[in-house]
Amino acid sequence: MDKIKKFVKENLQMILLVLCGLFVITGILAIVFGAANSGGVIKVLFIIFGIVLIALGCSLVFYAALIATDENANFFLYDQRSKRSISIEELDFERVNKKMTYIMTKLVANASKVWTSNLFADNREFFDDNEVFTPLVAYKVIYDLADRANESIWHLYLMADKSVIASIAEALEMNSDSDLGKAVKYLHENAAGDYERTQKFLADNKKYIQNKMTKYVKVHISKF
């Protein structure tokens, strides 16, 4: 069943176009058959049936075109709600953060997983195909720690394996942000069971992280 779902998802446009062709051809045949039939009621029914099938076929073409638009649209610039793309000048941190929240839901089941497992190693296939997201995910992780973390999340951060912190630092360095990466590693290594220093550091640097995320997206916008 999973293989069938995967095939349908990957080939949805082709499937829609094939169905469209079948509906249109069947609709035309129904109209031709109805027109050739001398019976009044049967004639009308076949013609109506044919028109309905052609209309369904046309609607499938329209839906396939919408899917193509979604697939080809820029991830950060395309607005699903308005079905249009915004200009890069309109792109702000709020939109970038919202889009990255969506990405995080695809990578981890809940916020605790960020610190109890290595999301970069566990999602290697995603990052291999979408390397441009790697620094953004790292920024998002530490931004959420500064902005949304509760006490239980902070304790998970303190208990996180060094490899988890190292992966975040390495991802930041991909954006030439080694200073922030080193700070994140240093604070974790020297936390001594207390997260207040890290909490204060990230709170003081929230604006910096916001600016880095937004600037990174704008600089690499053609890759999304």
Q: Is residue 18 part of a domain?
A: yes
Q: Is residue 217 part of a domain?
A: yes
Q: Mean pLDDT throughout 170-176?
A: 96
Distances, alpha carbon 132 to alpha carbons 42, 175, 220, in Å:
60, 10, 8
pLDDT tens digits for 41-92?
A: 777 887 888 889 888 878 877 766 655 555 567 899 988 787 788 899 999 9
Q: Do residues 158 and 106 both lie within one domain?
A: yes
Q: Is residue 78 part of a domain?
A: no
Query: In the chain, how many domains are there?
Result: 2
Q: Do residues 193 and 132 both lie within one domain?
A: yes
| Residues spanned by the domain of 54 | 2-72
Higher pLDDT, 194 or 37: 194
Q: CA 143, CA 207: separation in Å to the nearest integer?
A: 10
DSSP 8-state secondary structure symbol assigned to residue 132: G
Question: In which residue are the tokens 């970038």 written?
Answer: 96
Which of 23-37, 56-70, 77-91, 140-154 has the least mean pLDDT? Answer: 56-70
Q: Which of 72, 100, 115 is the last residue of a domain?
A: 72
